[in-house]
Structure 1
Amino acid sequence: MAENRPLTPADLRALPHAPLFSRLGHAELEAVAQTGSVRRYEHASLLFSAGDEADAFYAVAEGAVHLFALTPEGDQSLVTIVGTGETFAEAALFGAGRFPVNAEVQGGTTLIRIDGRLFMKALRENQTLGFHMLDSLLARQVFLIHEIHHLKAHSPSQRLASYLLSLIESEAWKGRGRLPVRKQLIASRIGIEPESLSRALRRLVEAGVQCEGDDVIVEDEALLRAYCASFGEADMTAG
């Protein structure tokens, strides 16, 4: 059973990869904290379904959330995994007003829920909060532009190495076994053709990465980190 508690500014400050909150001062964090709650999920649970009213957005304080669609046959098709420190569903709240995909919280996950109605009310009543949120979104845009340059400047193997390391750091993957995101999605995420992904994986032997069938094994995480550091900081996020 999920356990609820009030959200605090300290909870928001503990989210290093949440751009919406990155530029907020103490007073603004206090205002946002008044609109949310924290819930711990000990077991996997469906958070929302595609088409549901987008009445909130979320941040992962610890653990992971799987966003997925359903095929015509009723099978799950994983879209992405949201890891620790990342937010999701903002676009649905601010845009169409409906969740476009399904979300399943994984067991052992702590989730921050920001109530949409209360949050929009806080934005209307606090201009400083609105300006700082806009500043945070602009900073996110700068990050994305930097990421585009990162993609253009590095080889497929280097991009993949950065992505694998980010999966480990976000706790979305343990560094052994099947990758938590479909390979086609990974290829799209790092800007390469799907057929190039296997070749890129094979070239990461020197970075301590091995492939055994469908499993990918990071045999030496320190070596992978050193490999990524050799061409620049690993800043490819898993989300």
Structure 2
Amino acid sequence: MTIVEPDSPLPVRTLIANTLLGALPAEGLDALCAAAMVRHYKRNTLLCAAGRAVKHVWLVNEGRIEIFYRRTDGQESMVGAFGSSHWCVWVALFAEQPLNQDISAAAGSTLISVPAVAMRRVLAEHASIYPLLIAEIAVRMQLLMQWVGQSAVGNSEQRLAGLLHALGQLENRHESPRCLRASQTRLAQALGMHRHSVSKGLDALQGRGLIRAAYSRIELLDPDGLCDFSLGPANPDGQD
């Protein structure tokens, strides 16, 4: 169920200004705020289906936007996530071809939705914003390449550590400690592992003092330690 809040008490202008778009002049912010709409999603909700042109971009206020690759047989894998204070999704806004992935809002999420047409118009009128936008995309690309490379050579525990570190960087890098809301099922889908293996991996990482895991909530107690562990040599315990 989606609740549209045209008279939302959220400080939309302030929230947009706290992102890279805060570098826009006043008239640019005015144009975005005039087009923006606050939406709250009580359930997991598909925002844009694979193969469809993106008609909106979204700023996450609470919750998360997830990007999924889904096969025709129903199998799916989470391939991206956007947390609080992040825009989703710049690449789809400018790509000539639609994404081959589904974009979904997680249950309980509150988003600021801006029509893609309005966003493109504002950015075209204020091209000085593009270097900041490219830099934000570059951060995601660097983390993605690091995790893809690490996951090809690390064992299951290291792959999990690398994914948690990347999600922490992408979703809640300004919080201390960084907290993730991610179920074991979602993590298993992203890693291509069984849920039981993810559960064992979380227990092991908690035993190392790197995280504190509860139901669908993971505190990253030592993000740098997670990164170092994920990139280090294979564990002496012989895990796969």
The TM-score bracket by the shorter chain reads 0.5 to 0.7
Alignment of 1:95-106 (within 5 A): 95-106=95-106
Structure 1: how far apart are the matches of 2:141 and 2:76?
A: 32
- Secondary structure, counterpart of 2:77 in structure 1: strand
- Secondary structure, counterpart of 1:73 in structure 2: coil
Question: What does residue 136 of structure 1 align with?
Answer: 132
Q: Which amino acid aligns with 1:136?
A: L
Please say if 1:5 is aligned against 2:21.
Answer: no
* Alpha carbons of structure 1 residues 141 and 43: separation in structure 2 relative to 1, 3 Å: closer
Question: What does residue 191 of structure 1 align with?
Answer: none
Q: CA deviation at 1:54?
A: 1.9
Q: Give structure 2 stretches of 5+ with no counterpart.
A: 228-240
TM-score (norm 1): 0.62
Return 107-116 or 160-169, whichever deviates more.
Answer: 160-169
Structure 1: how far apart are the matches of 2:48 and 2:131?
A: 29
CA contact (8 A) 1:81 1:172 kept: no
Structure 2: how far apart are the matches of 1:203 and 1:110?
A: 31
- Secondary structure, counterpart of 1:96 in structure 2: coil
Q: Which amino acid aligns with 1:53?
A: A
Return 136-145 or 114-123, whichever deviates more.
Answer: 136-145
Alignment of 1:122-133 (within 5 A): 122-124=122-124, 126=125, 129-131=126-128, 133=129
Q: Which amino acid aligns with 2:186?
A: P
- Secondary structure, counterpart of 1:180 in structure 2: helix
CA contact (8 A) 2:181 2:216 kept: no
Question: What does residue 23 of structure 1 align with?
Answer: 23
Q: CA deviation at 1:73?
A: 0.8
Structure 2: how far apart are the matches of 1:79 and 1:208?
A: 23
- Secondary structure, counterpart of 1:81 in structure 2: strand
TM-score (norm 2): 0.62
Structure 2: how far apart are the matches of 1:84 and 1:12?
A: 12
Structure 2: how far apart are the matches of 1:210 and 1:172?
A: 10
- Secondary structure, counterpart of 2:186 in structure 1: coil
Residue identity (%): 17
CA contact (8 A) 2:162 2:226 kept: no
Q: Which amino acid aligns with 1:106?
A: A
Q: CA deviation at 1:149?
A: 11
CA deviations 1:146-180 (Å, max 9, x no partner) are 8699989xx96985664475567576426xx6263
* Alpha carbons of structure 1 residues 160 and 204: separation in structure 2 relative to 1, 3 Å: farther
Alignment of 1:1-239 (within 5 A): 1-5=2-6, 8-15=12-19, 19=20, 21=21, 23-124=23-124, 126=125, 129-131=126-128, 133-140=129-136, 143=139, 159=162, 162-163=165-166, 165-166=168-169, 172-173=180-181, 178=184, 180-182=186-188, 185=191, 202=204, 205-209=207-211, 221=219, 225=221, 227-228=222-223
Structure 1: how far apart are the matches of 2:104 and 2:28?
A: 30
- Secondary structure, counterpart of 1:34 in structure 2: helix
* Alpha carbons of structure 1 residues 162 and 201: separation in structure 2 relative to 1, 3 Å: farther
Q: CA deviation at 1:228?
A: 3.7
CA deviations 1:83-134 (Å, max 9, x no partner) are 222222322221125242112222221112221222233344x3xx221x21
Structure 2: how far apart are the matches of 1:64 and 1:75?
A: 21
CA deviations 1:164-201 (Å, max 9, x no partner) are 75567576426xx62633476499xxxxxxx9xx8898
Structure 2: how far apart are the matches of 1:200 and 1:173?
A: 14
